[in-house]
Structure 1
Amino acid sequence: MPVLQPIPQNEGVTGRERHLARLASDQFFSLWSYPGLTRPAKRGITKELADLAVIFGDDMVLFSDKDIAWPTHPDVGVAWSRWYREAVVASAIQLWGAAHYLRGASPAVYLDARCEVPFPLPVISSCTRIHLVAVAANSVSPARDYFCEIGGPGSSGTLMHAFGVPEVVEGKRPFMVGDLDPKKPYVHVLDEESLDRLLSELGTIGDFIHYLTEKEAAVRSGRLVMYAGEEDLLAFYLQESLPSGFGQLPFAQGRLVEGASVTIPEGEWRTYANSPAYKVRARMRQRARDWYELINPFSAAVLNAQTGEANDTPLDMHEVTLRVAASENLASRARLGTAFVEKYESVPEGIRTSRAAVSLSQPGRLYLFVFVPWLRQKVTYEKYREFRLAMMHAYATVAPLKFPGLTELIVIGAQTQDETGTRSETMIYAKYEGPVSAEQIAEARELMASESILSDMPVQALRANTAQISLPRRYTRNEPCPCGSLKKNKKCCNVSGARYRKIYAGTIG
């Protein structure tokens, strides 16, 4: 009997739950996104853990999505108070209960409502970081009406966030939320519009978790006192780009003059959406989709136990390999996806070749794309797959000699294009610890000589990438375009304008 078995998944009960599940699957991959996981409760009763759980290595994101209709009371203060209790506070209570259970002794999590099918992957460890997200729907339209009435047209209608104000936490300030309980795990409160924008703009599980972590640090440090809408905070975060391709909230790490704080006003998103930086980001999202389309079939195959001969490989080995590839952020995916597709489309028929691409987000991680033709007139598909896998292992053996500082390697073996139009890919993962032994060096050199494995590749030491993804300066026409296309700036986005300045309530030191 094969080791790998299908993993059944719930679709969600309500329309909102199904929408949340589709969003997560489309951005985070189905292999790590699970609607309606359950846990045992008292007296044999089962209980839903969360509306959606994204379990990705040492990070877990729990979502509670409340679809509470907006009350019809004529007093907006009364309507807000009632909706706030049912939509926001109730979600927080559910999420705190789930986090408390998971931090308890030997928590058990199941795929089905009867708690009969155990969750097949590790759920919690001492290293797990739990992120809590409350999604409260149906407030955007009444909020837009309310803010336009008191401040004029132009409000987005997304929830405002203010911290350190007791009346906000008590639900006495319409359409304002804060840190619901500083003594408990932080709960990120999002309306439905903010959720959709965050997932689509951030685009990857790595970017989403990094954003949540930065925001929690900024709030709990006391330095972020207010932001007008989630989209405005997101715009701030995306423009403060790190060399790794992630955004940041620099004040979250203490880069503020003593006693200063930050308020982010409404309009930050509108300004950013019309900037050169956003143009680059939009192109980057398009290019990163190639990486998603490459990885997603692997995720689906493992989830459905349809990996062919690899069904004899344990689930945890499949999962860790795919998780490494899926952990790349948007900037890194854009470059990796472009590098793979560009090479795939240019390989002559019947030729074996390869291409190396470095991860932007993880120093020391390398990808090798190995393109191997299937000579149908000479070998069966099974023999071809065996040969391709052997070639992939050969590249993994030679790689440490060619890339000093290599710590992680993903090799993707791909069938080259031919007249049939068919394609297939295989993926392996290798981790390197310590110096290369004399025996390994000898084997690698033999492969370089006998099979021409990376024999023409110059030695390239891997180090932290210093590419800048945001636009803090003007780009010249002949520089590589920052969107990840691998083309010159003048032949791609052709960006030149400097990033606009931000408005701070305090002063960045």
Structure 2
Amino acid sequence: MSFNKSEERLGELTRRTFLSMWTYQSPHYAKGKELCDALVVFGNDVIIMSDKLINFDDQANKSVAWERWYRKAVAGSIRQLRGAFNQLVKFPERIFCDVHASSPFPLVIPKPENMRVHLIAVANGCDDAHLRSLGYPGLCIDTHCDNDSPFMSVGVKYPEFVHVFSTAALEAIFNCFDTTRDLIDYLARKQEALNGEERFLIHGEENLVAAYVMSQSGNSDFYIPSDDFPIENGVKTVPAGLWDLYAKSPLREKRDKIRISSYVVDDLIDHMAEEYNSGSLIIGQDQPFSYHEKFLRIMASESRLSRQIMSKTLQGIIYEDSSTFWCNISESKDVPGLMYLWLVYPVVPEHITDEDLEIMLTVHLSQYITVALYKFPHATSIFGICLPNHASNRRSRGFQFFSGESRCDEMKKDADKLEQEQGILNNIETYNFISQRL
């Protein structure tokens, strides 16, 4: 299936943020019947996206050109979003990944009462005209707008809450929020802030994004700083220029630099998904897709900051002596009690097959997690990841998940024996936790 440039860009952005296991471009509800341009199902969160590329007619009267563009780019997207949502609620079993409706959608659509839906209309083609008319590229958001939208303005209630993104806003959003957790947190907090009776006038969503990511630079959660917005004629206003201010700031430069190493977590999740989809897993290939999705979603639920902490823990051991095993542990910043155990294995002799290697790694990883459950009794669960030392030419990777509820007297005996006789984790008394948001 072919996509226009706007749809291709949307696909790239969604796959980078939500990763390949949870994002699907152009799903269908029947043969030849497209559901939406992108669908993300991540547990109970469902993101439905419609992307329209409609060129603004600069030759026509401005009000006429706006009415035509709005009808096709915004109203048209909202109709598609509404139809897609109704289809998901009424006929979740009739969602397919291909135009021929022959490949069933692999993820479980949550029940309507559990679904947290986020509707996103991407309206392209108006940025240049908006920049010439008002001095900034993003659409103006007036929370009191409805379907009779004034010139260059969109609303949020149709009556469903809809996030209408211009091209400029889309780029800013996916630049700042490149994990599922970070983006969903922004969408939810924005909806909570703008869903009341109080009127907001936002001169480009990219400027609301800037206000959000500049709301703090410590280790607290970001928020919509509504109380800080100036009031003009009784309307809370988000001025233009905030995004440019943030884009050129040392804070953004520092954040972009420091998060680079955290993409090793994204790559690991995508690697495991690709191995399963290609039938290449030696251990676990017999498990259903839902088994792998459920556990990989635990790691994929981590924010960018949490992934920075996780990757720093891994970096502490992956370049160590390649002749032995190395282990390091960190606690999730986002889910207290959830701990990640990284086990890096040494260079493996050539005569050991990949099949034998993975069996051995499965045993080793299980042993390390067993000891860790008792070394850290406050841990509610431990997610173990095994991967090669930087000097290794093997690609085998694996994960295991143990709940704290699995603790028992017999396991305690095994843990004590493994620590005493094999020295597993006998020199680890603490775990990494870095309290810093950048």
**TM-score of the two chains, using structure 2 as the length reference:** 0.91
What displacement does 1:221 show? 2.3
Which residue of 228, 240, 255 corresponds with 1:281? 255
Q: Which amino acid letter does the alignment assign opposite residue 427 of structure 1?
A: F
Note if contact 1:350-1:416 (Cα within 8 Å) is conserved in structure 2: no
- Which residue pairs with 1:139 in the alignment? 126
The secondary structure found in structure 2 opposite 1:195 is helix
Range 74-83 or range 291-300, more displaced:
291-300
Which residue of 419, 422, 426 corresponds with 2:398? 426
- Which residue pairs with 1:448 in the alignment? 419
Cα distance in 1 for partners of 2:235, 2:309 equals 36
Cα distance in 2 for partners of 1:161, 1:19 equals 23
Q: Which amino acid letter does the alignment assign opposite residue 158 of structure 1?
A: G
Note if contact 2:144-2:199 (Cα within 8 Å) is conserved in structure 1: no
Note if contact 2:141-2:204 (Cα within 8 Å) is conserved in structure 1: yes
Percent identity over paired residues: 27
- Which residue pairs with 1:170 in the alignment? 148
What displacement does 1:279 show? 2.8
Question: Residues 22, 275 of structure 1: CA spacing in aligned structure 2 closer, same or farther, 3 A cutoff?
Answer: closer
Question: Residues 422, 386 of structure 1: CA spacing in aligned structure 2 closer, same or farther, 3 A cutoff?
Answer: closer
- Which residue pairs with 2:435 in the alignment? 467
**Corresponding position: 1:202 with 2:174:** no
Cα distance in 2 for partners of 1:289, 1:275 equals 22
What displacement does 1:27 show? 2.4
**Corresponding position: 1:14 with 2:14:** no
Question: Residues 221, 404 of structure 1: CA spacing in aligned structure 2 closer, same or farther, 3 A cutoff?
Answer: farther
Q: Counterparts of 1:133-282 in structure 2 under 5 Å?
A: 133-147=120-134, 155-165=135-145, 169-171=147-149, 173-182=150-159, 184=160, 186-223=161-198, 225-241=200-216, 246-249=221-224, 251=226, 262-282=236-256
Cα distance in 2 for partners of 1:443, 1:430 equals 15
- Which residue pairs with 2:388 in the alignment? 415
Q: Which amino acid letter does the alignment assign opposite residue 444 of structure 1?
A: A
What displacement does 1:67 show? 1.2
Cα distance in 2 for partners of 1:455, 1:443 equals 14
What displacement does 1:106 show? 5.3
Which residue of 316, 338, 359 corresponds with 1:386? 359
Cα distance in 2 for partners of 1:278, 1:52 equals 28
Unaligned runs of 5+ in 1: 1-10, 148-154, 470-482, 484-509
Note if contact 1:222-1:261 (Cα within 8 Å) is conserved in structure 2: no
Cα distance in 2 for partners of 1:115, 1:273 equals 43
The secondary structure found in structure 1 opposite 2:47 is strand
The secondary structure found in structure 1 opposite 2:267 is helix
The secondary structure found in structure 2 opposite 1:31 is coil
- Which residue pairs with 1:351 in the alignment? 324
What displacement does 1:244 show? 6.2
Range 49-58 or range 306-315, more displaced:
306-315
| Larger relative contact order (Cα-Cα within 8 Å, sequence gap ≥ 6) | 1
What displacement does 1:333 show? 1.4
- Which residue pairs with 1:361 in the alignment? 334
Cα distance in 1 for partners of 2:255, 2:124 equals 27
Cα distance in 1 for partners of 2:400, 2:69 equals 50
- Which residue pairs with 1:320 in the alignment? 294
Cα distance in 2 for partners of 1:26, 1:128 equals 23
Q: Which amino acid letter does the alignment assign opposite residue 64 of structure 2?
A: V
**Corresponding position: 1:303 with 2:289:** no
Q: How many residues align?
A: 435
Q: Which amino acid letter does the alignment assign opposite residue 336 of structure 2?
A: P
- Which residue pairs with 1:26 in the alignment? 16
Note if contact 1:374-1:381 (Cα within 8 Å) is conserved in structure 2: no
- Which residue pairs with 1:472 in the alignment? none
**Corresponding position: 1:88 with 2:74:** yes
Question: Residues 165, 128 of structure 1: CA spacing in aligned structure 2 closer, same or farther, 3 A cutoff?
Answer: closer
Question: Residues 101, 292 of structure 1: CA spacing in aligned structure 2 closer, same or farther, 3 A cutoff?
Answer: same
| CA displacement 1:240-286 (0-9 Å, x = unmatched) | 2497664222549xx9xxxx973211122222234343233222332
Which residue of 369, 372, 380 corresponds with 2:345? 372
Cα distance in 2 for partners of 1:96, 1:235 equals 29
Note if contact 2:316-2:328 (Cα within 8 Å) is conserved in structure 1: no
Cα distance in 2 for partners of 1:392, 1:367 equals 12
Question: Residues 191, 12 of structure 1: CA spacing in aligned structure 2 closer, same or farther, 3 A cutoff?
Answer: farther
What displacement does 1:78 show? 1.2
Note if contact 1:244-1:360 (Cα within 8 Å) is conserved in structure 2: no
Note if contact 2:145-2:156 (Cα within 8 Å) is conserved in structure 1: no
Cα distance in 1 for partners of 2:39, 2:137 equals 27
What displacement does 1:442 show? 1.6
Which residue of 359, 367, 373 corresponds with 1:400? 373
Cα distance in 2 for partners of 1:344, 1:388 equals 16
| CA displacement 1:424-465 (0-9 Å, x = unmatched) | 32122223338x3222222211121122221121166x9xx7
Q: Which amino acid letter does the alignment assign opposite residue 417 of structure 2?
A: E
Question: Residues 113, 379 of structure 1: CA spacing in aligned structure 2 closer, same or farther, 3 A cutoff?
Answer: closer
Q: Which amino acid letter does the alignment assign opposite residue 297 of structure 2?
A: R
Note if contact 1:246-1:329 (Cα within 8 Å) is conserved in structure 2: no
- Which residue pairs with 1:51 in the alignment? 37
Q: Which amino acid letter does the alignment assign opposite residue 16 of structure 2?
A: D
Question: Residues 158, 207 of structure 1: CA spacing in aligned structure 2 closer, same or farther, 3 A cutoff?
Answer: same
Question: Residues 109, 353 of structure 1: CA spacing in aligned structure 2 closer, same or farther, 3 A cutoff?
Answer: same
